[in-house]
């Protein structure tokens, strides 16, 4: 299990009602292309173009840790031509973007099993991580050949090989062996394209994340969509399994808020 560099000490959110860490399941590239009678790879290229505006919108809003689900362990089941095109696109994107990301102080970290990636792509990933290892403005985590279940299994195996007594394993020790070690858990998981599932993404880390689902396809998810997601998050009441003490209620603040009908908010894109 190859870990990315230690996460940089990036700024805290600009406001207390903003998430420290956002994870995004970028879905809908294929549908975006199909609606335009284009090949699927055109949708993936459009999806790559959507990343920078989303990163910039998050950073300008005061959120400095972003994790993008780019390619899952299950995505190898797609047609070979599509997988090959995606792998080329990953390499091209690193070549084109890493210099400017470094200039802007963005640390790049890659999650996932790199062994199945080509030697050239593994080298590009390693070079990008090394170049940006000490950048401290923001963190961009990219999950490639990643699966949440596989991450947990690999972490436990690594702990066992290191001599850890697994009979005494606790949450802190396991968390320290994951790709996200040193990062806050994601506060908000965004899924585009209207699907209500998390698809093996950050299963351990997202235990108490707020979920936000939008019908907007990933290539169309831009600055305004980021602000809508953040506005929705800022209205959530996060209890982490606890409930307020009724005796502590102060009438000067009015009655307690009504409970939400659903824990998952489904956002319909504006006209």
Return the pLDDT at 241.
Answer: 76
Mean pLDDT across the stretch 54-74? 97
Per-residue pLDDT band for 263 (boundaries 50, 70, 90) equals: very low
The residues annotated with a catalytic role in the active site are: 27, 75
Mean pLDDT across the stretch 102-124? 97
Return the pLDDT at 9.
Answer: 94
pLDDT, averaged across the chain: 92
Return the pLDDT at 166.
Answer: 97
Q: Into how many domains does the chain fold?
A: 1
Return the pLDDT at 250.
Answer: 47
12 assigned to some structural domain:
no
Question: Which H, E and C letters describe the chain, residue by residue?
Answer: CCCCCCCCCCCCCCCCCCCCEEEEECCCHHHHHHHCCCCHHHHHHHHHHHHHHHHHHHHHHCCCEEEEEEEEHHHHHCCHHHHHHHHHHHHHHHHHHHHHHHHCCEEEEEECCHHHCCHHHHHHHHHHHHHHCCCCCEEEEEEEEECHHHHHHHHHHHHHHCCCCHHHCCHHHHHHCCCCCCCCCCCEEEECCCCCCCCCCCCCCCCCCEEEEECCCHHHCCHHHHHHHHHHHHCCCCCCCCCCCHHHCCHHHCCCCCCCCCCEEEECCCC
77 assigned to some structural domain:
yes
Return the pLDDT at 267.
Answer: 55
pLDDT digits (tens, 9 = 90+) for 75-84: 999 999 999 9
Per-residue pLDDT band for 4 (boundaries 50, 70, 90) equals: very high
Per-residue pLDDT band for 49 (boundaries 50, 70, 90) equals: very high
6 assigned to some structural domain:
no
Per-residue pLDDT band for 238 (boundaries 50, 70, 90) equals: confident
Return the pLDDT at 61.
Answer: 97
pLDDT digits (tens, 9 = 90+) for 5-27: 999 999 999 899 999 999 999 99
92 assigned to some structural domain:
yes
Domain membership of residue 180 as a residue range: 21-237+256-267
Mean pLDDT across the stretch 201-227? 98
13 assigned to some structural domain:
no
pTM of the model: 0.89
244 assigned to some structural domain:
no
Per-residue pLDDT band for 240 (boundaries 50, 70, 90) equals: confident
10 assigned to some structural domain:
no
Return the pLDDT at 246.
Answer: 64
Per-residue pLDDT band for 231 (boundaries 50, 70, 90) equals: very high
49 assigned to some structural domain:
yes
CATH of the domain at 126: 3.40.1180.10
* % of the chain beyond a pLDDT of 90: 87
């Amino acid at each position: 299990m190859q870990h990315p560099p230690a996460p940089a000490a990036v700024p805290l959110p600009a406001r207390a009602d903003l998430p420290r860490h956002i994870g995004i399941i970028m879905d809908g590239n294929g549908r975006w292309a199909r609606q335009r009678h284009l090949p699927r790879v055109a949708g993936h290229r459009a999806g790559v173009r959507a990343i920078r505006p989303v990163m910039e919108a998050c950073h300008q809003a005061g959120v400095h840790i972003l994790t993008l689900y780019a390619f899952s362990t299950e995505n190898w089941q797609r047609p070979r031509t599509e997988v090959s095109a995606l792998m080329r696109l990953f390499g091209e994107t690193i070549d084109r973007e890493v210099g400017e990301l470094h200039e802007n102080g963005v640390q790049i970290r890659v999650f996932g099993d790199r062994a199945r990636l080509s030697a050239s792509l593994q080298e590009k990933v390693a070079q990008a991580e090394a170049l940006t290892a000490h950048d401290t403005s923001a963190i961009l985590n990219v999950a490639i050949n990643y699966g949440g279940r596989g991450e947990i299994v690999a972490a436990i195996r690594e702990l066992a090989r290191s001599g850890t007594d697994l009979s005494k394993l606790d949450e802190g020790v396991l968390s320290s062996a994951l790709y996200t070690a040193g990062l806050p858990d994601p506060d908000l998981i965004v899924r585009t394209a209207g699907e209500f599932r998390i698809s093996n993404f950050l299963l351990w880390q997202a235990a108490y994340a707020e979920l936000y689902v939008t019908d907007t396809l990933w290539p169309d998810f831009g600055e305004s969509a980021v602000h809508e997601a953040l506005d929705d998050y800022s209205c959530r009441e996060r209890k982490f399994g606890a409930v307020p003490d009724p005796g502590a209620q102060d009438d000067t603040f009015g009655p307690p808020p009504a409970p939400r009908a659903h824990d998952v908010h489904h956002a319909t894109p504006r006209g």
